[in-house]
Amino acid sequence: MAEATANGLGQHALHAAHAQDAAATAAHAEVHQEHPIKLYLVVWAWLFILSTCSYLVDYFGIHGYPRWSLILIFMMLKAGLIVAVFMHMAWERLAMMYAIILPPILVLVFVTMMVFEADYTLLTRIAFFGPGP
Amino acid sequence: MAETTLTHTSPLDRPQGLRGIAADWASDQRAFKNVSWGKAMMWIFLLSDTFIFGCFLLSYMTARMSTRVPWPNPSEVFALRIGGQEIPLILIAIMTFVLISSSGTMAMAVNFGYRRDRRKTAILMLLTAALGATFVGMQAFEWTKLITEGVRPWGNPWGAAQFGSCFFMITGFHGTHVTIGVIFLIIVARKVWRGDFDTGRPGFFTSRRGRYENVEIMGLYWHFVDLVWVFIFAFFYLW
């Protein structure tokens, strides 16, 4: 009985919370994303600069690890700017950010698996067909 | 109740941080508190699309890592002769700038949409569509050039046979996305121009009233197309 009452109270509290929620969202219904245009222009300019930089990596023929790390750095910076500002992810709640951004990061596990798999395939190919034409 | 949510910058009266994640996900109702269904579903669609492109890039990585035959040098393959001089990757660089510019105009369109500036929104969306069409045109040019040079899904004159299949699959799928985006941009721009989101005119397909948030949802798709290109540019063309 005591449990039932407690449950009932809990339900009431929950309903109250929901009502508050609905009221809060309704009150904000007309509020929306509006950022100064300058922000978009700055991000736009940065995307141009970063793209130019990654193109210059190829133009100047940088090779080996410096090339790969520079490409990855510029790529991640560009992707971050697009997702955060242009797609407004920076202003979303964390529940949303994690739901969308975490799964693609987990693809890195798949990448690791395929790196081993590719190395193994290459090894067997070299073993059976020789080191290549 | 259907109209309860739009995106807003003002914080909800809910816990923040990790506690907020637990509270939002454990609330036994919708997890995305201040995100409308349209926007949440577009994000989830984009997430699934991320996996599709992720798998393409992953298979490309596997093919390139496991072949004994040297991979063709993209810097030379995609070079253009301009004024008697070979400029490496120049077409791809221009395509990148065109797509980034289209992302910029799209972001502006979303901004003006929320300011209820119909004219500017529609013009910027059409400009975005034009830049997207330019991109697809340049891609068609690139495909034509490579095909006449003898690149096929099963071989090419410069090295590993998998180069062609990876190239056609990845850029073809991306180009398809851009094309679909251009079509939808024109449809949404027409709606904005006609004032559908002000008068509450029912959509031709869903028969539901649209809102200016539709412009932002369209923008999410378009920025995603740009985002995918960032990864393709880095991994396929520059690597």
Q: Is A47 on the interface with B (CB under 8 A)?
A: yes
The residue written with tokens 């068609």 in the block is B140
The residue written with tokens 């502006």 in the block is B108
Contact B96 A51 (CB under 8 A): yes
Among the partner-chain residues B4, B114, B220, the one whose CB lies closest to the CB of A34 is B114
Residue B81: φ, ψ to 5°: -95, 110
ipTM above 0.95, yes or no: no
Q: Closest Cα of chain B to A105: distance in Å?
A: 10
Q: With the C-alpha atoms ordered B11, B17, B19, B21, is the resulting torsion angle positive or negative?
A: positive
Q: Is A13 on the interface with B (CB under 8 A)?
A: no
Chain A hits for B233, CB-CB cut-off 8 Å, are 51, 54, 75
Q: Where are the alpha helices (DSSP H) in chain A?
A: 2-27, 37-59, 65-81, 94-129
Q: Per-residue pLDDT averaged across A86-111, rounded?
A: 92
CB neighbour class for B151 (10 Å; exposed up to 12, middle 13-18, buried from 19): buried
> What are the Cα distances from residue A91, in Å, to A34, A42, A85, A125, B66?
11, 17, 8, 50, 42
Domain ranges of chain A: 32-91, 93-133
Instruction: Give which of B85, B100, B237 to mutate to test A binding, by max A Cβ within 10 Å.
Output: B100
Nearest CA in chain B to A90: B9
Q: Per-residue pLDDT averaged across A97-108, rounded?
A: 93
pLDDT tens over chain B, length 239 residues: 444 444 444 556 788 888 888 888 888 778 888 888 899 999 999 999 999 999 999 999 999 999 999 999 988 888 888 877 888 888 999 999 999 999 999 999 999 998 889 999 999 999 999 999 999 999 999 999 999 999 999 989 998 999 999 999 999 999 999 999 999 999 999 999 998 888 888 888 888 888 888 999 999 999 999 999 999 999 999 98
CB pairs under 8 A between A and B: 203
B54 Cβ contact list (under 8 Å, min separation 6)? A104, A107, A110
CB neighbour class for A71 (10 Å; exposed up to 12, middle 13-18, buried from 19): buried
Contact A94 B16 (CB under 8 A): yes
pLDDT class of A32 with cuts at 50, 70, 90:
low
Q: Model's pTM, two decimal places?
A: 0.85
Q: Is B36-238 a CATH 1.10.10.10 domain?
A: no
Strand partners, B80: B87
List, as ranges, residues 48-87 from A with C-beta within 8 Å of B: 48, 51, 54-55, 57-59, 61, 67-68, 71-72, 74-75, 78-79, 82-83, 85-87
Element (DSSP H or E) covering residue B80: strand B80-82
